Amino acid sequence: MAIRPIITLPDPRLRLVSEPVATFDGELQLLLDDMLETMYEAPGVGLAAIQIAVPKRIVVADATRGDEPKNPMFFINPEIVWVSEELFVYQEGCLSVPDYFEDVQRPARVRVRYLDRTGATQEIEADGLLATVLQHEIDHLEGGLFIDHLSRLKRERVVKKFAKAAARAAPVADKVEA
């Protein structure tokens, strides 16, 4: 297992639509393990493969808190098949939009159909934090970010902030390589 670098805003790869997984082999198992280790190290509660620059429809998650035993979950080719009418507001953050948090309103409960590590079809109904995590990560698979759920003004501010930070960092990287 290895910790992989997480790409951050404004990296355009975050806006790619991820491709379905068709082959369940050792390479996929290694990717799943790397994603989980990367998520725990970050630390985060969810990670989509595109966040480590792999445009595949894969999500790992663990919505446990504090001293609760870890509960790693793997979702391959996940799709939301049902959402509740009831809404829930959670202060979201994202490993690809570091140190920025904002309230986001989403359905309180969801049902997700997915393939597990072996390729078997599964379904899960989730509420609370896990429902939020699944919706957040599945957005990534479609090229979406949680900031897309904010007002245009807030979204533009955060994008501008990260673009400026990337521009400031770029000249330093050029000097180091020279």
Tokens of 98: 């570091």
Distance CA 139, CA 40 (A): 20
For residues 84-119, one letter each, b for 16 or more C-beta atoms within 10 angstroms of the residue's C-beta and e for the rest, the string is: eeeebebebbbbbbeebebebebbbbbbbebbeeee
In the residue annotation, 37 being an active-site residue is answered as no
Residue of 102, 137, 156, 177 marked active site? 137
Tokens encoding 153:
């003004």
The residues annotated with a catalytic role in the active site are: 137
